[in-house]
């Protein structure tokens, strides 16, 4: 049974606490969490038990988190929404009693909050990146992705391939994969003219395939599996998490000040984000995601792993998927069992497959 049986959206206004911007949003219950969703996607996820009532003018309900370091607020002026929100937040009025009793504690809390922000920025960012990543608004992640994107193209000295027939085949393939993935956000998938056999996801739902990977692939299932795996990284926001981990303090500050685009920070990170590896857990989760997509398409998930095996045999270890996607026998056997049903139609016809592989040829 849902905690909030009324199906009418809980319309609220979201304030991030850093700017004066008031965003229309809605709140949704997800277990013990209250998920705040803006026009561009999720803004934050608050533990319901930690939500407190804040000072507000008459007739307005203003809520925030008990943790003083959390600056975000939500507001509701509709009495019906107010009473539903109140019913969803068991600790709503706890802070009011505490505040009345111990005003000086607020000052201590503020100092503690400031100290914890500094400590977080300096020492703990790599450790808390896992927890920060889901809180970064998708709109920020997209801006960040656009900034990193320029660096990536420079690093690979590659151009985006656009032979019309190849683009059409890629669009067709992506249409089928995205329908099976059901990510709910548009993905940007492009092929870079570069002989390195690689594929990667950038923050902001951008995925790149290298021409070299298409050249090594033997069938659409292999490429579809790789793309599905990268969508898994995008869905889990792994690229953002990795950027948070590797960027540390300077990255966090740049993000807070909203001035990432064009800053030197990203110049440093463009290369780093491609060189560092995801964790084994992130890879396992992306494989599982790919397995679900391929199963949904009725196609085998193992060809992606077989492509990696071939590359392991062929390619220098300096490059490519081998480094960013450490391969293991475990992954192969898990992918083999991920998609037992293989009765789906081929993802591309032979002609379409050849067109995709030729997407970087100037003839089109």
Name the residues that contact Zn ion, by CB under 5 A: 283, 286, 325
Least separation in angstroms between residue 49's CB and Zn ion is 35
| CB-based contacts of 22, cutoff 8 Å, min separation 6 | 13, 14, 15
| Nearer residue to Zn ion within complex by CB, 178 or 283 | 283
Q: Which is nearer to Zn ion, 73 or 331 (CB)?
A: 331
Q: Using the minimum distance from each CB to Zn ion, give the nearer residue, 76 or 244.
A: 244
Q: Please state the closest distance from residue 286 (CB atom) to Zn ion, in A.
A: 5
What minimum distance in Å lies between the beta carbon of 207 and Zn ion? 11
Nearer CB in complex with Zn ion: 46/289: 289
Q: How far is the CB of 195 from Zn ion (least distance, A)?
A: 20
Q: Tell me the HSE value of 341 on the side-chain side, using a 13 A CA sphere.
A: 10
Q: Which is nearer to Zn ion, 91 or 326 (CB)?
A: 326
Answer whether 210's CB lies under 8 Å from 217's CB. no
Q: How far is the CB of 200 from Zn ion (least distance, A)?
A: 8
* Closer Cβ to Zn ion, 176 or 325, answer by number: 325
Structural contact between residues 94 and 102, judged by C-beta atoms closer than 8 angstroms: no
Question: Nearest approach, Cβ of 239 to Zn ion (angstroms)?
Answer: 10
CA atoms within 13 A on the CB side of 50: 15
The CB-nearest residue to Zn ion is 325
Which among 71, 75, 52 has a CA at the least distance from the CA of 110? Answer: 71
Q: Which is nearer to Zn ion, 82 or 198 (CB)?
A: 198
What is the nearest approach in angstroms of Zn ion to the Cβ of residue 326? 9
Minimal CA–CA distance to 15: which of 54, 59, 50?
54
* Dist CA 122 CA 300 (whole Å): 45
Copy the structure tokens of residue 30.
């997800």
* Residue with smaller CB distance to Zn ion, 70 or 272: 272
Counting Cα atoms < 13 Å in the Cβ hemisphere of 305 gives 24
The distance of closest approach from Cβ of residue 238 to Zn ion in the complex, given in angstroms and rounded to an integer, is: 8
Minimal distance in Å, beta carbon 359 to Zn ion? 22
CB contact at 8 A, 338 and 300: no
Q: Which residue has the tokens 């199963």?
A: 295
Q: Which is nearer to Zn ion, 279 or 361 (CB)?
A: 279
Measured distance CA(314)–CA(260) in Å, rounded: 38
């Amino acid at each position: 049974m849902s905690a909030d049986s009324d199906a009418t959206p809980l319309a609220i206004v979201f304030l991030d606490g850093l700017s004066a911007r008031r965003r229309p949003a809605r709140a949704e219950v997800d277990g013990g969490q209250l998920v705040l969703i803006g026009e561009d996607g999720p803004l934050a996820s608050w533990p319901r038990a930690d939500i407190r009532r804040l000072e507000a003018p008459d007739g307005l309900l203003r809520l925030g988190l008990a943790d003083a370091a959390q600056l975000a607020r939500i507001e509701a002026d509709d009495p019906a929404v107010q009473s539903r929100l109140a019913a969803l937040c068991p600790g709503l009025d706890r802070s009011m009693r505490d505040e009345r009793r111990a005003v000086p504690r607020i000052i201590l809390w503020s100092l503690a909050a400031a100290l914890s922000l500094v400590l977080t920025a300096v020492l703990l960012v790599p450790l808390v990146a896992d927890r920060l990543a889901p809180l970064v608004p998708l709109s920020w992640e997209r801006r960040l992705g656009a900034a990193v994107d320029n660096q990536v193209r420079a690093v690979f000295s590659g151009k985006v391939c656009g032979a019309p027939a190849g683009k059409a085949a890629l669009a067709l393939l992506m249409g089928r994969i995205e329908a099976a993935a059901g990510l709910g956000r548009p993905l940007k998938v492009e092929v870079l003219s570069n002989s390195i056999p690689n594929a990667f996801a950038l923050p902001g739902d951008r995925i790149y395939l290298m021409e070299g990977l298409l050249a090594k692939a033997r069938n659409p299932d292999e490429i579809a599996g790789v793309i599905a795996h990268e969508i898994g990284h995008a869905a889990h926001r792994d690229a953002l998490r990795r950027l948070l981990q590797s960027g540390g303090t300077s990255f966090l500050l740049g993000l807070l000040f909203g001035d990432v685009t064009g800053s030197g920070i990203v110049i440093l990170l463009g290369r780093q984000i491609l060189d560092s590896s995801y964790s084994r857990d992130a890879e396992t989760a992306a494989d599982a995601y790919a397995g679900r997509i391929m199963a949904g398409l009725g196609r085998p998930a193992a060809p992606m792993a077989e492509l990696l095996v071939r590359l392991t045999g062929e390619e220098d270890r300096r490059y490519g998927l081998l480094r960013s996607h450490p391969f293991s026998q475990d992954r192969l056997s898990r992918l083999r069992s991920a998609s037992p049903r293989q009765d789906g139609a081929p993802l591309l016809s032979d002609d379409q497959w050849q067109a995709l592989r030729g997407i970087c040829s100037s003839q089109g």
